[in-house]
Amino acid sequence: MEQDRRLFSLILPSDDLPQEKTMYYRIRKGTTRSDGQALLFPAGSTLSFDCYYNVLDYATYRETCDLDLVEYHLSVRGNVTVSLFLSRFTDREETYEDVLLSETTIRAVEATEVRIPLSLSSLEGRGVVYPVITALSDASFLGGYIEAATDPRQRIKIGIAITTFKREPFVKRNVSVLVRDLPAERFGVFVTDNGNTLSPADIPGARLIPNKNLGGSGGFTRGIMEVSASEGYTHILLTDDDITFESEVFRRTAALLSYATDPDNVVVGASMLVLDKPYLQYEFGSHWNGRFVVPRNGGEDERIKLSLLRNADPDRPAEYTAWWFNCFSVSLPERIGLPFPFFIKIDDVEYCYRAAGVRFVLMNGVGVLHEAFGNKYSAVLEYYAKRNELIFNALYPEKGGLLSSMLILCRAVAKALVFQRYFVLDLVYKAFDDFLAGPEAFARVDQEKLHAELRSLGEKYLTREELTAQGYDCDRPAPLPQTNACKLRKVLTLNGYLLPAKCEDYRLADITKEKVYFYYRARHVLQYNPLTEKGFVTTQKRGYLFRAGFRLVGYFFKMLFKYRKVARAYRAALPEIISLNAWRKRLSL
């Protein structure tokens, strides 16, 4: 059977994703329109593919794969000039150059395929390659792809492992798209159902795995176990149930791995694009600085050429790629064990960091859309984040030890006070207590029971109707940013805690934005989420400032005397915690 040499298909906007045409193509001159099958553009128009989904990060393929000669195949109709360009940074900071690699003019009454060969080894530095089509008469672009000149090094089959918990509409939609668009001989779909609310008829073409609810960690671990035990799979791809995506990103992942020189030591990740702003990149891989995750190339507008070049030539390598899209060899769990049972939060960071020596590959055109994390606040996440960050620092002291952990505590307490979320303080301190109890106590915890307990300690949301009935205006304007002088006063007075509160009934704060000035000298705050149309009301309590300070000193001494012994215990217990036998016991298998 002939092997598939296709690396990369050029794609155009579809109804499956939010429309943002400049992520796919640009009209440098003239106009264009789509007839559903092709892009039509009149004489004098220029169509360029220097866009997120259609540029080729040539250095990534050159460095990761046994690959040199490739060929563009572009289907066009009309009299056109087809050019191939390279863009890369110049020696001057934040400037780039466009280099013409080749150019050909054809006259095609019917659809005609233009072939453009390209040697990756001849391209210097790091950058992107893309075609440009100029219409000399009314013309059409009917599609295109990039093909390797040689057969793949290895056969790749990817098990896509999705974890879900009572989010039936999301998982049904995504499974149907994956089964429809991806060839069964190269992909299989596994759905771990932590909520036990799905039936096989809900996800035809996928394998349903009913599972005990041990959070994302338990769901993804079960997915890893099931794919690893299934015949024929070479790689596992972990992905969230609520992402939105171009199916092409999965095909590109498989194609890259099929040519990879060391496919067992390559982890392919995806950038996260913000769902309601599909051009905004939230993260392009990340690293951990001992206190929090630092997104790489976060906040970049991917409609801009400079952003594409920063992705192709990042300042530093990624230390981890998140589990909204993370593809690795089935041999990896055999070598490093299964994920740590964190329930949620930091599990992907820890697993990637444990996989020392692998190459994390991210590139333009391999990204998924996900709702911004700030859009849904839950105090319960504060507990998991802090407890798990402490465990991570204990396991890997080179990334952050006692000092970093104390800074985590200070930052968490200060944030709870500033945002008047006093209920978070108990969750943060519980996280530290549970960490200091050590790995044996951690292993004995009933995760489902703990999660229910934590939810009872968090915020109590009210609907828009309930808030309105209590006299709150959910459409009231939020405060505006302050001047620098006000910001300085804010710092010196602990965000207004040392000053009398302003005489106002209440202030509205958009909880999805978390701006400190929303809370400055505010007595009452309606913390409202305009997306879910739910919120809760908080009141400034000055006594908590001093009580939290005294309590903080106490925890400093606890950490000082107990931290190092507890950290050593976690490191000693790690092999057993992540073992297959331990996970089988947790999952009652």
How far is residue 453 CA from its own chain's centroid?
Answer: 28
pTM, entire model: 0.93
pLDDT for the residue 486: 66
Domain 158-371 has CATH 1.10.10.10: no
- Strand pairing partners for 369? 244, 273
Two structure tokens written together for 396: 């890997």
Distant-in-sequence, close-in-space partners of 398: CB < 8 Å, separation ≥ 6:
none
Sequence-distant (6+) residues with CB within 8 A of 183 are: none
Encoding tokens for residue 552? 């903080």
Mark residue 261 as left, alpha or beta (left: phi above 0; alpha: psi -120 to 50; beta: remaining). Answer: alpha
Tokens of 424: 């978070």
CA 588 to CA 392: how far, in whole Å?
26
Q: Any residues with CB less than 8 A from the CB of 451 and at least 6 apart, and which? A: 213, 215, 343, 380
- Quick one: which of 586, 485, 477, 585 has its CA closest to 526? 477
pLDDT value of residue 250: 98
Question: What residues contact 209, with CB distance under 8 A and at least 6 apart?
Answer: 190, 191, 192, 193, 222, 223, 226
What ranges in 266-341 are assigned the alpha helix state H? 305-312, 331-336
pLDDT of 482: 63
Helix 423-436 to helix 543-577 angle, to the nearest 10 degrees? 40
Q: Which CATH number fits domain 6-148: 3.40.720, 1.20.272, 3.40.1350, 2.60.120?
A: 2.60.120
Torsions phi, psi for 280 (to 5 deg): -95, 120
- pLDDT at position 487: 66
Residue whose pair of structure tokens reads 């207590």 in the numeric block: 433
| CATH topology match: 6-148 vs 158-371 | no
Q: Say what the alpha-carbon torsion angle 15, 16, 18, 24 is, to the nearest 10 degrees.
A: -80
What span, in angstroms and rounded, lies between the C-alpha atoms of 58 and 363?
Answer: 10
pLDDT tens, the chain, 589 aa long = 357 899 999 999 887 777 789 999 999 999 888 887 889 999 999 999 999 999 999 999 999 999 999 999 999 999 999 999 999 998 777 889 999 999 999 998 899 999 999 999 999 899 999 999 999 999 999 999 999 999 999 999 999 999 999 999 999 999 999 999 999 999 999 999 999 999 999 999 999 999 999 999 999 999 999 999 999 999 999 999 999 999 999 999 999 999 999 999 999 999 999 998 999 999 999 998 888 888 999 999 999 999 999 999 988 889 999 999 999 999 999 999 999 999 999 999 999 999 988 999 999 999 999 988 777 788 899 999 999 999 999 999 988 889 999 999 999 998 999 899 999 999 999 999 999 999 999 999 998 899 989 988 888 999 999 999 999 999 988 777 665 546 666 666 777 777 777 767 888 999 988 888 888 888 899 999 998 899 999 998 888 888 888 999 999 999 999 999 999 999 999 999 999 999 999 999 9
For residue 1, the model assigns a pLDDT of 38
Helix (H, G, I), strand (E, B) or coil at 130: strand
**How far lies 219's CA from each of 58, 69, 156, 182, in Å?**
35, 41, 24, 23
Side-chain-side CA neighbours of residue 200 (13 Å): 3
pLDDT of residue 2: 52
What's the CA gap between 261 and 154, in Å, rounded?
9
- Residue spans of the domains in the chain: they are 6-148, 158-371, 380-543
